[in-house]
Chains A and B, each alone.
Chain A
Amino acid sequence: MKRINKRYLSALVVGSLVLTVFTLTGISRAATAIDLGAAADFAILAGASVTNVPTSIITGDVGLSPSSGSFYDGGVTQAQVTGTIYSVDAAGPAGRVTDDTLLTAAKSALTTAYTNAANATPATQTVTASAVDSFGPGTVNNGANLVPGIYKSPSSIGVTGTLTLDGGGDPNAVFIFQAVSSLTTASASTISLINGAQACNVFWQVGSSAAQLGTDSFFKGTILSDQTITLLTGANVEGRLMAFTGSVILDQNIVNNTPCVGVPPAPGISADGTGARYFERLPHINVTKVPSPLALPAGPGPVTYTYKATNQGTAPMHTVWVTDDKCAPVTYVSGDANADAILDVNETWTYNCFKTVSRTETNTATAHGYANGIDVYDTANATVAVGTALPPPLIHLVKIPSAFVLPAGGGPVTYSYLVTNPGTAPLHDVSITDDKCTGLPGRVVGHPGDVNGNNLLDPDETFQFTCISNITQTTTNIGTAEGGANGLTAIDFTPATVVVNPPGLPNTGFPPFGEGMPWNIALSVGALMLAVTLAVVLNRRTN
């Protein structure tokens, strides 16, 4: 589209000025996730050495290069790692895999990732040069949530108390922290992820000096460091530790390289499927997923996943299925009361799947249904922890609009949200948001559903919310519920589609040529036709 307009130009100039001012005060700027390439599967990757005071629990691969495998100290054992330990040579812990090629590629990818993180611009906020402990109460952000963006310190970055990263409802929200010198987190400090922020999208680039995570602290994100990364006793990481030149030093830690979780597929809406002039009833599917057990402290073991798919819409659904990205087959168990293979309104079907889980993993179930020209989907995520007794968090979001179909032109819709905890661990830092409905609280504090007032979402509690949005065209919006427990973050994305009916086709016709035409025009045109015919005939003759 071409737009030629001077006013736009001046708006652009003014906009740039405003932006410059806001950069200093911290306006949201989109940052791009750092691609880790061949290093992506590593929870730990070091250049000089890897040491550990047992017992640590590491989920993800462990790699050391260019140092010999002999620079893994005796505390690093396969028993503490659900993943592969790689070395460049025949030395190293029992069970290691020697793969110099892979490690070289991973280190090369780390260099690229480090450079990209260091050069990411522009900074959302520049942290003052002298500040260690920059983020947290009484510091640079004074305890306020950070929006997605790039945060740069010309010297060091520190974290004290609780640092909350607010994704603003965007599951792809990226946070990049750039510390020219060092990164230090305080003892018992916590990084919380809310409103769609995910550990896989948080990056900490640390330059000339070291990174250190405090005793019993909870940390989120990938550390891309040139120098040594030290975890003090009991520090817990949801992310990765990558030290290009230096070492990674562990002391009874949990390091979990958790993957990103995606949003459900967009609905397919085909007007041809309705066979009717207007949409009337719509399907709306919701799925829950609960693994049993949630934790396998003694190592790999069998897990049963139970899925429940419910039709919360107004049209009976057919072609209903549930799949899981890491478990197959997902089998129908019960629920189709009248055995008609149609998921009726308010009916719930139960499915299950069996699997031996050998390392801590998060998997995603997808449920599908179809009715009246609309394909709808929902997803549910669940993590099973291996090698620890601590159960991972589970969270579930139900979202129902007050109307599924609006007449042409649209109108207001009230969305109801129910957040529950289908797991066993109470959830802290519970947040609720929606990508296209504003008015939800984000981080939930003091909700009446918190019956025991402990500021946690317990398994028997329900947090309920509503949000009103004016819908003028067919809209799919995605609600996000997020909460944490035991160093891990649970997230559930729930879409809802509201169709705004198209208008009827306009009556754009006048009576055809001749009928609506005044007699004088008809006469002129008639005469013209005659002239034209004459012209054509004459034309032919001259040829």
Chain B
Amino acid sequence: MLHNNPRIRLLLVFGVVGVMMSATLGDTPTKPVSTNIAPPAQERAELPVRLKIPKINVDASVEYVGLTSDGAMDVPKSPSNVAWYELGPRPGEVGSAVIAGHVGWKDNVQATFDDLPDLRKGDVIYVEDASGGTATFVVREQRMFDLNQNASYIFDARDGKAHLNLIACTGVWDEATKTYSKRLVIFADTE
């Protein structure tokens, strides 16, 4: 890919940043929505605030999302934010914490997870929490899911360890359903 060359990527970034200076950056963290989940027996981790992935220059605010009316995980409102699934574990807690981000362009902003496919096994992901702590995850694998596939593998982990899984769209854009045909999932484990 063209933008995989660091020299050219730099050029590109400078150009785009110049244009984006006037654009509105939607990186204000959203307030957590109240839920009626009883705290589980295990110690709770702090709420996530920022997601940082140095390898693909991601440094995004974390929104908190639940379900859409048709039972799907909701998505971040802003293309430059990412969304944590607040009905599941928090990053760093036992189980699979899930964060989704957009690809493509909206409101003059390039979406956060455009370069998610570039992540490889061993790459590092950081999640900063509300009290300044940082949870570190290391990429284990990359997998493609069909839109209507059972997503237990992404949202459930029963190995007693803490995981972080990142979801972004991929595949072919379908204009009729306004969605992509597949989802790319990056599976990461605590360091």
Interface: A17 (CB within 8 A): no
CA distance A2 to B106 in the complex (A): 35
Give the residues in chain A near B18, CB-CB below 8 Å. Answer: 524
Give the residues in chain A near B131, CB-CB below 8 Å. Answer: 5, 7
Contact indicator B73/A505 (Cβ below 8 Å): yes
Contact indicator A506/B100 (Cβ below 8 Å): yes
CA distance A507 to B65 in the complex (A): 13
Interface: B37 (CB within 8 A): yes
Give the residues in chain A near B85, CB-CB below 8 Å. Answer: 503
Contact indicator B37/A513 (Cβ below 8 Å): no
Contact indicator B12/A532 (Cβ below 8 Å): yes
Contact indicator B12/A525 (Cβ below 8 Å): yes
Contact indicator B2/A532 (Cβ below 8 Å): yes
- With A408-B87, A409-B67, A506-B100: A4-B151 Cβ-Cβ less than 8 Å: no
Mark contacts of B158-191 with chain A using CB atoms, 8 A cut-off: 1 yes-contact digit, 0 otherwise: 1000100001110001010011100100000011
- With A277-B148, A470-B38, A531-B11: A512-B173 Cβ-Cβ less than 8 Å: yes
CA distance A470 to B41 in the complex (A): 11
Give the residues in chain B near A276, CB-CB below 8 Å. Answer: 150
Contact indicator A506/B153 (Cβ below 8 Å): no
**Per a CB cutoff under 8 Å, which of B11, B66, B190 touches A1?**
B190
**Per a CB cutoff under 8 Å, which of A474, A505, A513 touches B183?**
A505
Mark contacts of B21-58 with chain A using CB atoms, 8 A cut-off: 1 yes-contact digit, 0 otherwise: 00000000000000001101100000000000000000
Give the residues in chain B near A408, CB-CB below 8 Å. Answer: 67, 71, 73, 87, 155
Mark contacts of B9-23 with chain A using CB atoms, 8 A cut-off: 1 yes-contact digit, 0 otherwise: 001100110111000
**Per a CB cutoff under 8 Å, which of B16, B75, B156, B173 touches A506?**
B75
Give the residues in chain B near A4, CB-CB below 8 Å. Answer: 132-134
- With A509-B180, A521-B19, A532-B12: A502-B150 Cβ-Cβ less than 8 Å: yes
Contact indicator A473/B95 (Cβ below 8 Å): yes
Contact indicator B37/A472 (Cβ below 8 Å): yes
Give the residues in chain B near A505, CB-CB below 8 Å. Answer: 72-73, 145, 147, 149, 151, 154, 167, 183
CA distance A136 to B104 in the complex (A): 71
- With A1-B162, A407-B71, A504-B70: A472-B191 Cβ-Cβ less than 8 Å: no
Interface: A518 (CB within 8 A): yes
CA distance A528 to B83 in the complex (A): 31
Contact indicator B111/A503 (Cβ below 8 Å): no
Give the residues in chain A near B70, CB-CB below 8 Å. Answer: 504
Interface: A540 (CB within 8 A): no
**Per a CB cutoff under 8 Å, which of B113, B150, B175 touches A277?**
B150
**Per a CB cutoff under 8 Å, which of A277, A473, A515, A516 touches B149?**
A277
Interface: A271 (CB within 8 A): yes
CA distance A470 to B40 in the complex (A): 9
Give the residues in chain A near B173, CB-CB below 8 Å. Answer: 509, 511-512, 515
* Residue from B71, B113, B137 with most neighbouring chain A CB atoms (10 Å): B71
Contact indicator A516/B105 (Cβ below 8 Å): yes
Give the residues in chain B near A502, CB-CB below 8 Å. Answer: 150-152, 154-156
B78 to nearest A CB, angstroms? 11
B130-145 interface with A by 8 A CB criterion: 131-137, 145
Interface: A436 (CB within 8 A): yes
Interface: B119 (CB within 8 A): no
- With A1-B92, A271-B152, A410-B87: A510-B105 Cβ-Cβ less than 8 Å: yes
Contact indicator A525/B156 (Cβ below 8 Å): no
A413 to nearest B CB, angstroms? 12
* Residue from A521, A531, A535 with most neighbouring chain B CB atoms (10 Å): A521
Interface: B59 (CB within 8 A): no
CA distance A503 to B88 in the complex (A): 10
Contact indicator B134/A2 (Cβ below 8 Å): yes
Mark contacts of B94-136 with chain A using CB atoms, 8 A cut-off: 1 yes-contact digit, 0 otherwise: 0100001111111010010100000000000000000111111
Give the residues in chain A near B151, CB-CB below 8 Å. Answer: 271, 277, 502-505
Chain B residue nearest to A528 (CB atoms) is B15
B191 to nearest A CB, angstroms? 6
A64 to nearest B CB, angstroms? 45
**Is chain B's binding surface mostly helix, strand, loop or mixed?**
mixed
Give the residues in chain B near A266, CB-CB below 8 Å. Answer: 158
A256-302 interface with B by 8 A CB criterion: 266, 269, 271-272, 274, 276-279
Interface: A19 (CB within 8 A): no
Contact indicator B92/A3 (Cβ below 8 Å): yes
Contact indicator B150/A510 (Cβ below 8 Å): no
* Residue from B18, B100, B162 with most neighbouring chain A CB atoms (10 Å): B100
CA distance A269 to B158 in the complex (A): 9
* Residue from B8, B137, B167, B191 with most neighbouring chain A CB atoms (10 Å): B8
CA distance A187 to B20 in the complex (A): 87
B105 to nearest A CB, angstroms? 4
Contact indicator B16/A532 (Cβ below 8 Å): no
CA distance A529 to B100 in the complex (A): 29
CA distance A518 to B40 in the complex (A): 46
CA distance A4 to B8 in the complex (A): 36
Chain A residue nearest to B87 (CB atoms) is A409
- With A2-B134, A532-B8: A509-B102 Cβ-Cβ less than 8 Å: yes
* Residue from B72, B73, B148, B152 with most neighbouring chain A CB atoms (10 Å): B152
Contact indicator B102/A472 (Cβ below 8 Å): no
A310 to nearest B CB, angstroms? 25
CA distance A500 to B178 in the complex (A): 28
**Per a CB cutoff under 8 Å, which of B37, B153, B180, B191 touches A2?**
B191
Contact indicator B15/A525 (Cβ below 8 Å): yes
CA distance A501 to B149 in the complex (A): 12
Chain B residue nearest to A500 (CB atoms) is B156
B71 to nearest A CB, angstroms? 5
**Per a CB cutoff under 8 Å, which of A510, A515, A518 touches B79?**
A510
Contact indicator B153/A3 (Cβ below 8 Å): no
Contact indicator B67/A513 (Cβ below 8 Å): no
Give the residues in chain A near B103, CB-CB below 8 Å. Answer: 508-510
B130 to nearest A CB, angstroms? 11
Interface: A520 (CB within 8 A): yes
Give the residues in chain B near A504, CB-CB below 8 Å. Answer: 68, 70-73, 148, 151
| Closest 4 pairs between A and B when the two form their complex, measured CB to CB | A510-B104, A504-B72, A509-B169, A271-B152
Given A277-B150, A505-B72, A511-B105, 19 more pairs with CB closer than 8 A: A1-B137, A2-B191, A7-B131, A266-B158, A271-B152, A279-B152, A408-B71, A410-B87, A472-B38, A472-B87, A474-B156, A502-B151, A504-B68, A508-B75, A508-B167, A510-B103, A511-B175, A518-B105, A521-B108
Q: Can you list 6 contacts pairing A with B, beta carbon distance less than 8 Å? A: A2-B136, A5-B132, A5-B133, A269-B158, A525-B16, A528-B11
